[in-house]
Chains A and B, each alone.
Chain A
Amino acid sequence: RKEVEQDPGPFNVPEGATVAFNCTYSNSASQSFFWYRQDCRKEPKLLMSVYSSGNEDGRFTAQLNRASQYISLLIRDSKLSDSATYLCVVNRNSGNTPLVFGKGTRLSVIA
Chain B
Amino acid sequence: GAGVSQTPSNKVTEKGKYVELRCDPISGHTALYWYRQSLGQGPEFLIYFQGTGAADDSGLPNDRFFAVRPEGSVSTLKIQRTERGDSAVYLCASSSTLQGNNEQFFGPGTRLTVL
A, B from the same assembly? no
